[in-house]
Amino acid sequence: MEKELIVYSNGSCNFCIKIIEWIVKKKVANVAVLKKIKNYNVEGIPFTLSIDKKSGNKEEIVGIQIDKIENLLFKS
């Protein structure tokens, strides 16, 4: 896989749990679950960061947007 996903969440956020379950189900590698999102100035979680390993481009996704994550990972 050429992309890395980082999901910023907490253990009591139902939407965060859904994103993480989806990622595990799809067997997407390199998932880091973190609790601090200060560097990105985001007010909500889940906050997912997709990083293209070749170009270094970053895509920020706030909320549970599985279609957008799927497009980034499997259709780009």
Query: Alpha-carbon distance 14 to 67, whole Å?
Result: 18
- pLDDT tens-digit readout, 27-64: 665 555 544 555 666 667 788 888 888 888 888 888 88
CA distances from 53 to 3, 39, 73 (A): 6, 20, 12
What's the average model confidence in pLDDT over 2-11?
73
Closest CA to 33 of 61, 11, 60: 11
Residue 73 clears pLDDT 60, i.e. is over it: yes
**Among 5-19, 21-35, 58-72, the range of highest mean pLDDT:** 58-72
| Domains of the chain, each with CATH number or no CATH | 3-74 (3.40.30.10)
pLDDT score for 7: 78
